Structures are given as structure tokens and as C-alpha cells.
Amino acid sequence: MNILKLEMLSKEAFAPFGEVIEIEGSDWHPINGGTTRRYHHLAPIDAGPEGGRPGISMARGQAFSYPVFVSMLERHPAGSQAWIPCTQTAFLVVVAPNGPDGRPDETGLRAFRASGSQGVNYRAGTWHHPLTTLDRQGDFIIVDRVDGAPNCDEADLRATYLIDGSLKGA
């Protein structure tokens, strides 16, 4: 069995795949007479080259516990997809680069643990595992393309990867 070690999610580590949406470490400027901090434009919304329709949805993810088994990934070629926790629930972010054959490059598979204060914005075409909420059920805001254009490729991985919660380098 292939063990996939977890990395803590950071803007820098996730940069090849998209953006991390979080208050911690992000720039802000005061608004509303200084009573509010605006953390402006943390991630772009991409609704496709021909200008699809972006929208805001919500999701309630069931709780998963370790070990988590990953055997497939998906991607949205026609737009970005953001997942933002609104109940402080941690979740798994499993991503891979695109391979020369148009399938996930499993040699570059990476697993991150997003804290309940972090969201992610998957860049259009980024291979990722569907929502995997950790420890308890969690509600999320989704920002992605909602106009019904074909926008989800799935790929079975050549192996099954086990995530047991252990950290890379630990």
C-alpha cells in the first residue's frame, strides 16, 4: 500500500495548484471607518475562457476519519473551484500535477491538511480529490462555475494511496 504523508497547507506549498484562502498571513486594509479589515482578492474566480457563469453554492460534507484511501481524482477544466469551510472543519486537500498523458501525475501526488480556518481555490484543471471533511461533518461555501457546461473529468489512479494522518518528515 502506498502511504501518502500529510503536509500542512500553506500558500507557498499549494501555489502550483491554486490559492489558499485564509486570514492568517494575508494582507488587509481597513474599511467601514476602520471597524473592519478587508482581506481583498485572496483568489481569482475563473469561469472559463468563453466567460461561463460563476456562482456561490454550499455543501455539507460527511465526516471521514483516518485511514482515508485515495484511488481517484477529478478536475474542472472549464473553471476554478474554491472550498471555504464555514464551520471551522478541517479537510483533506489531495492534488496532483497533470501528466503528459493528460492523467494525474501520481509521482507528484500531494496531500495537505487544511485547518478549519483555511479554504482552497483549485486552479482550473487542477487534479484534486473530492471533498473529504475530517473528524466531523462540515459546511462549506463553494465558488465555481454553475452554468452546466461540461466541467468535471475523473481519473482512476493506478494505485490506491493510504492517508493515515501522519505528517511528512515527522
Ligand X SMILES: NC(=O)N[C@@H](O)C(=O)O
Question: If we measure between CA atoms, which residue out of 156, 119, 128, 135 comes closest to residue 62?
Answer: 135
| Cα 136 from Cα 95, distance rounded (Å) | 22
Interface with ligand X includes 55 (CB under 6 A)? Answer: no
Q: Rank residues 6 and 82 by Cβ distance to ligand X and give the closer one.
A: 82
Task: Report in angstroms how near the CB of residue 107 gets to ligand X at its nearest.
Answer: 22
| Cα 70 from Cα 109, distance rounded (Å) | 10
Kindly determine how many residues on this chain lie close enough to bind ligand X according to the rule CB under 6 A.
5
Task: Report in angstroms how near the CB of residue 104 gets to ligand X at its nearest.
Answer: 14
Position among 58, 130, 137, 160 found at the interface with ligand X (CB under 6 A): 130
Angle at the Cα of 158 from the Cα atoms of 95 and 127, rounded to 5 degrees? 20
Question: If we measure between CA atoms, which residue out of 34, 15, 11, 13 comes closest to residue 24?
Answer: 11
Q: With CB cut-offs between 5 and 8 Å by kind, which of Ni ion, ligand X, none does residue 110 bind?
A: none
- Which residue has cell 478587508? 38
Per DSSP bridges, beta strands 153-163 and 2-3 are: parallel
Q: Rank residues 131 and 149 by Cβ distance to ligand X and give the closer one.
A: 131
Query: 84-107: buried (b, 16+ CB within 10 Å) or exposed (e) per residue?
Result: bbeeebbbbbbbbebeeeebbebe
Task: Report in angstroms how near the CB of residue 105 gets to ligand X at its nearest.
Answer: 19
Binding mask 57-96 for ligand X (x = CB under 6 A): -----------------x------x---------------
Task: Report in angstroms how near the CB of residue 167 gets to ligand X at its nearest.
Answer: 23
Q: Rank residues 16 and 30 by Cβ distance to ligand X and give the closer one.
A: 16
Interface with ligand X includes 131 (CB under 6 A)? Answer: yes
